[in-house]
Structure 1
């Protein structure tokens, strides 16, 4: 959907979300969403964070009159793909412990053993990689070590990337575990967004208008990154034209 304008908000002032107390995260998301909806009035909001989606998605849908699309760990497709019946879940410490995650596993992977790894260090590595810094390969190897262990004679053959930061490290992760298939929710979320925006008419707003060169708006809550380095990462993600901003949604 390259014809659509994206308003992206990176809450680096409260990074990483996976270590925040639940009540703090609930309050923060409510303030951020309120401020951004007031300023931009988008047609749809994607909560591009598993930690947030597994905690506050129902609350936000109930409070705000705009469609929300959440991102949750791709447990179902992983359970369908596995041949060994042992799958891995790589996410934040908060996401791996969520009741929502437990329910996903119960509903879709009850026949599997799920090896869970919660890591905030990988979130930091993904952010550094996005900003042009090298990835700490030794740290990645240490974090992934449990996926190499046998479980009742079988090994992990599919890993769910249960954090939206982690696909940024997919090449590095694959190099360390080349025998593993890596699954994330990206494609499913894109299809869901396309379906909701198209509606009954089957046409996405702006699709036939002169918006193919839309200028995307990117906000950071604490500080904007080095634009020269950051630009390369955005270009790789298909965001050719953009403007960077600082944004404040302070908590009392």
Structure 2
């Protein structure tokens, strides 16, 4: 079987993870699937997210050696559930609370994420385990992923969330869509606040899992395929904008 990493996301948010994986594993082909027909995930019920995500994973599973769920909302929802039903290794993406706790100098952290991720029990467990002695400002950014997906994001959209971070000196981007505008957020908060995401960590974890399972990692002519379940033309325009090809 040709080495193939699958990347699953609700839309274009996982393109940042695509770029990071492509850099860490340049000789592996990648199949990126944006489940844009069901976008956005961030305000759906947990049951809906599980059903949609599992169906999407099953669509790409036959062509992949490993799949990265490049969506925080889907990953924190129930990663173990997907692992029970998908028969290739899965890598999830979750907010990098542990890293933030190590980096903060004033013990205040802001987590920007979708309402589902903010409310998830898994998110609370991360905070309890790695940042129990820190102040974590959980900021539910309803609608922000949609504005990024559809290219309608403005500075005014971001200001309300930036104001909510208080005195935090670390911002955790807990939605992969937000990583696509990381530079804009950084410019708004200034140099004294560090903005971090999971992209590079997920790429390194993908490499570790592939090594653990002895998966093939060399293709003389790696290919990059982009598919979606919704409007293909719009999706591919965003791929051209954000994917480093």
TM-score (norm 1): 0.82
1:74/1:227 CA distance change after superposition, 3 Å: closer
Selected match of 2:141 from 88, 98, 119:
119
Selected match of 2:216 from 195, 198, 205:
205
Task: Report which structure shows greater RCO (CA 8 Å, sep ≥6).
Answer: 2
CA contact (8 A) 2:228 2:235 kept: no
Selected match of 1:141 from 149, 155, 159:
159
1:227/1:94 CA distance change after superposition, 3 Å: closer
Q: CA RMSD in A?
A: 1.8
Selected match of 1:185 from 198, 201, 211:
198
* Partner of residue 231, structure 2: 223
The whole-number CA distance in structure 1 between the counterparts of 2:233 and 2:142 is 20
- For the pair shown, the structure with the greater C-alpha radius of gyration is 1
Q: Determine if the alignment matches structure 1 residue 45 to structure 2 residue 58.
A: no
For the residue of structure 1 that corresponds to 2:150, the secondary structure is helix
Selected match of 1:165 from 155, 160, 177:
177
CA contact (8 A) 1:16 1:120 kept: no
* Partner of residue 14, structure 2: none
Contiguous gaps of at least 5 residues in structure 1: 150-154, 241-252
1:64/1:232 CA distance change after superposition, 3 Å: closer
CA shift for structure 1 position 197: 1.6
1:200/1:124 CA distance change after superposition, 3 Å: closer
Contiguous gaps of at least 5 residues in structure 2: 1-24
CA shift for structure 1 position 22: 1.0
The whole-number CA distance in structure 1 between the counterparts of 2:69 and 2:34 is 11
Matches within 5 A, 1:88-127: 88-127=110-149
Selected match of 1:28 from 25, 29, 52:
52
Cα deviation, 1:70-127, whole Å, max 9, x if unaligned, reads 1000000001100111100001010011000000000000110100111132212322
